[in-house]
Amino acid sequence: MPALSFTHRFEPAAAAGTAPLLLLHGTGGDEADLLPLGRALSPGAALLSPRGPVVENGMPRFFRRLAEGVFDEDDLRRRAGALAGFVAEARAAYGIGAPVAVGFSNGANIAAALLLLHPGSLAGAVLLRAMVPLAEPPHVRLAGEPVLILSGRTDPVVPAANAARLAAQLRAAGAAVTHETLLAGHGLTPGDLVRARAWLDEARHDDGAAAPIVA
């Protein structure tokens, strides 16, 4: 495996016509954490799964926070830039197209930051339990980039209004956002898998999409 800027796992594609997935774990996960989810969401797709480089109380994360729900935005911007650089390295090293990010919690938050800070680095995103990463997002144009946000109705970490504000920010930037609230807390449920897989299938086969998800 090439020595790239992030510790990571890569599984090559076993099926044509599927976009690669960039798997971004939550706090305390690692590069193996979301591989089963990726295989279930898009069988045969290439999977690129980095480990968050920040360690908080022994738990990997993708960027620093000052408190629960309070992000170090300077660090977030730096880390998002580093992650965008890693994605470019991996695309060149493995010969893959722009990936669709699948992020959970902290991973979903940095995926949202990637969309807003580095447009073009992703082909879309599935944001599981995401919240607003930047208090004042930059003005960007996402040109119909497909985004699915799945929130939990009883999530104690992400307030409903915060998730709704993220959806509004991404729509204002031009993304094609689907935001749904599931009967769930902060953790993932079988419903997340069912809905995210259906959305990926719909996006892949939607001929009218401005940014179709294909390899």
Q: pLDDT of 155-180, one tens digit each?
A: 999 999 999 999 999 999 999 999 99
pLDDT at 206: 63
Range of the structural domain that residue 178 is part of: 8-205
Proportion of the chain above pLDDT 70, given as a percent:
95
Coil vs helix vs strand at 195:
helix
Structure tokens at 191: 């419903």
Q: Is residue 74 part of a domain?
A: yes
Question: Per the domain annotation, does 95 fall within a domain?
Answer: yes
Q: Which H helix or E strand runs over 59? A: strand 59-61
Could you give the residue numbers annotated as active site?
A: 105, 155, 186
- Is residue 214 assigned to a domain? no
Residue 15 pLDDT grade (very low, low, confident, very high; cuts 50, 70, 90): confident
Band (pLDDT 50/70/90 cuts) for residue 118 is very high
What CATH number corresponds to the domain at position 52? 3.40.50.1820
**Which band of pLDDT confidence, cut at 50, 70 and 90, is reported for residue 2?**
confident
Largest CA distance in the chain: 46
* Total domains in the fold of the chain: 1
Q: What is the pLDDT of residues 195-213, one digit of tens each?
A: 999 999 988 766 433 344 5
Average pLDDT over the chain reads: 93
Sign, Cα dihedral of 151, 210, 91, 86: negative
Is residue 2 assigned to a domain? Answer: no
**In which element (H, E) is residue 67 found?**
strand 65-67
80, amino acid identity? A
* Residue 59 lies inside a defined structural domain of this protein: yes
**End-to-end alpha carbon distance in the chain:** 22
pLDDT digits (tens, 9 = 90+) for 33-67: 999 999 999 999 999 999 999 999 999 999 999 98
